């Protein structure tokens, strides 16, 4: 396993549409393992493949309840709306208020191609939606209600 470089604001990979994964092989498994290692090393709760310059529909998330790997994910249900502070590993030191669903359900495939459904609320719902947005070339700053000030972050 290896750490990958997380691209930052201005990198064109963050604005491109990720492609569907069709091969569930060792190359995918290595990507998933590397992404998880990279996310943990960066103290993040989620990472999408475009953030490591790979234009594939692959996401890893861990909000403290264990690693979730999602291949070809899509949001199939959502409910409620919550405005909360959100940041992104590709936008270090930047935080903003973003409205996200309070609850979300996602259909995806696991690393072997088996269909799975992940349901989450609170931080997990936020992370699911945030990371899936990355696969569409959407970043949190596109949805931000307002950016947070240094005083708010450090106060």
| Residue-level pLDDT, tens digit, the chain, 155 residues | 799 999 999 999 999 999 999 999 999 999 999 999 999 999 999 999 999 999 999 999 999 999 999 999 999 999 999 999 999 999 999 999 999 999 999 999 999 999 999 999 999 999 999 999 999 999 999 999 999 988 887 87
Q: Of 18, 37, 23, 94, which Cα lies nearest the Cα of 6?
A: 37
pLDDT tens column, 80-125: 999 999 999 999 999 999 999 999 999 999 999 999 999 999 999 9
Strands, sheet with 58-61, edge to edge from the N-terminal-most edge strand: 46-48, 58-61, 68-79, 103-109, 115-121
**Domain coordinates in residue numbering, the chain:** 12-154
112 marked ligand binding residue:
no
Distance (Å, whole) CA 35 – CA 13: 16
Domain covering 12-154 in this structure, CATH number: 3.90.45.10
88 marked ligand binding residue:
yes
Q: What is the 8-class DSSP label of residue 122?
A: T
148 marked ligand binding residue:
no
Alpha-carbon distances, residue 12 vs 26, 53, 64, 87, 129 (angstroms): 27, 9, 30, 19, 21
Catalytic site residues? Answer: 131
């Amino acid at each position: 396993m290896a750490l990958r470089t997380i691209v930052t604001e201005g990198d064109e990979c963050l604005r491109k549409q990720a492609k569907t994964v069709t091969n569930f092989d060792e190359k995918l498994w290595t990507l998933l393992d590397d992404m998880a290692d990279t996310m943990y090393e960066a103290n993040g709760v989620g990472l999408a493949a475009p953030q490591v310059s790979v234009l594939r529909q692959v996401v890893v998330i861990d909000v403290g309840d264990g690693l979730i790997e999602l291949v070809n994910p899509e949001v199939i249900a959502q409910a409620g709306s919550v405005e909360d502070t959100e940041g992104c590993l590709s936008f270090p030191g930047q935080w903003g208020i973003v409205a996200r669903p309070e609850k979300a359900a996602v259909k995806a495939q696991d690393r072997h191609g088996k269909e799975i459904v992940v349901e989450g609320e609170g931080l997990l719902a936020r992370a699911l939606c945030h990371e899936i947005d990355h696969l569409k070339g959407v970043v949190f700053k596109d949805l931000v209600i307002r950016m947070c000030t240094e005083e708010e972050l450090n106060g």
